[in-house]
Amino acid sequence: MKKYDYIADQLYQRIINNEFNETQKIPTEDQLINEYNVSRNTIRSAIKILTKMGLLYPVQGSGLFIKPPQKPDTVYLSSTQGVTADHDGKTIVNQLIDFKLLEADEALAKRMLCQIGTPIYYIIRLRIVDSIPYAVEYTYYNKEIVPYMGHEIVEGSIFDYLKNDLKLSFGFADKYISAAKLNVYDSQLLQLKEGDPSIVIEDNVHLSNGVLFNSSKIIYNYQLANFYMVAQ
């Protein structure tokens, strides 16, 4: 494991365990260098991770300040992960609506940045959190990169499968966020009314070598979904 990832994990634990309750500051860079016996850049890389997550902010000349907790039940946007990780302690059910293997036609090939005829999995899922419909998800996966998809995977966490079993290494995800009126079909799945609002996130996820392997459109229940991010 990378040193800065390890240190970020450690500091994360120490922060949520309220070790720095009194001061609401973590130790200075110099102190951390001595505690963990690493170079300054390594400490700074770890701190950058926590800063990006919104856990703390650095103030030049003063120190590393812990931020008060954000609003509860919000989903952190700046990760290539799906939504699962952000709902610890809640019951998540992924109801499979449709699941097929297609061959890319011209439009799909353009979207998936692949050749016409490439095999593509198409999956529609209804994601249910604590028994309430949370989102409808329309997803394409390039079968040349994800060679197998079974019902048992699709009803669990696809991302865990890709990461742990296929050992895929995610690079970046381009995200587009907008709002739209629900159509009849999605409104029924989400147990809302046609024309009700929804948040729509279109996601194009690339491997760390830049290859696009997943394109999805997720339609969220506007009464439940609330997203969080930090801009710097």
Partner DNA sequence: AAGTGGTCTAGACCACGTC
Partner DNA sequence: ACGTGGTCTAGACCACTTC
Of residues 9 through 28, those in contact with DNA by CB under 7 A are 28
Q: Which does 40 bind (CB under 5 to 8 A by kind): DNA, a copy of itself, none?
A: DNA
**Beta carbon nearer to a copy of itself, 66 or 123:** 66
Q: Which does 196 bind (CB under 5 to 8 A by kind): DNA, a copy of itself, none?
A: a copy of itself
Which residues are registered as beta bridge partners of 215? 140, 204
Any idea of the CA torsion for 173, 176, 182, 186, to the nearest 10 degrees? -10
Q: Would the CA dihedral through 32, 36, 42, 45 be positive or negative?
A: negative
**Is 2 a binder of DNA (CB under 7 A)?**
yes
Who's near 225: CB < 8 A, 6+ residues apart?
A: 75, 134, 135, 199
Q: Which does 87 bind (CB under 5 to 8 A by kind): DNA, a copy of itself, none?
A: none
Q: Is residue 181 a contact partner of residue 195, using CB atoms and an 8 Å limit?
A: yes
**Is 40 a binder of DNA (CB under 7 A)?**
yes
Start-to-end Cα distance in the chain: 27
Task: Tell me how far, at minimum, the Cβ of 112 lies from DNA, in Å.
Answer: 19
Who's near 199: CB < 8 A, 6+ residues apart?
A: 177, 178, 179, 219, 220, 222, 225, 227
Which residues are registered as beta bridge partners of 102? 120
Q: Is residue 114 a contact partner of residue 142, using CB atoms and an 8 Å limit?
A: yes
Q: Which does 74 bind (CB under 5 to 8 A by kind): a copy of itself, DNA, none?
A: a copy of itself
User: How far, in whole angstroms, is CA 174 from its chain's centroid?
Assistant: 12
- Residues present in the chain in total: 232
Q: What does each C-alpha distance from 224 to 12, 88, 152 come to in angstroms?
A: 27, 15, 26
Q: Which does 110 bind (CB under 5 to 8 A by kind): DNA, a copy of itself, none?
A: none
By CB under 8 A, name the binding residues for a copy of itself: 41, 51, 54, 57, 59-60, 62, 65, 70-71, 74, 77-80, 171-181, 195-199, 206, 208-210, 220, 222, 225-232
**Beta carbon nearer to a copy of itself, 35 or 226:** 226
Task: Tell me how far, at minimum, the Cβ of 200 lies from a copy of itself, in Å.
Answer: 9
**Is 142 a binder of DNA (CB under 7 A)?**
no
Q: Is residue 33 a contact partner of residue 43, using CB atoms and an 8 Å limit?
A: yes
Task: Tell me how far, at minimum, the Cβ of 21 lies from DNA, in Å.
Answer: 18
**Beta carbon nearer to DNA, 100 or 167:** 167
**Is 54 a binder of DNA (CB under 7 A)?**
no
Q: Which residues bind to DNA, rule: CB under 7 A?
A: 2-4, 28-30, 37-42, 44-45, 58-64, 208-209
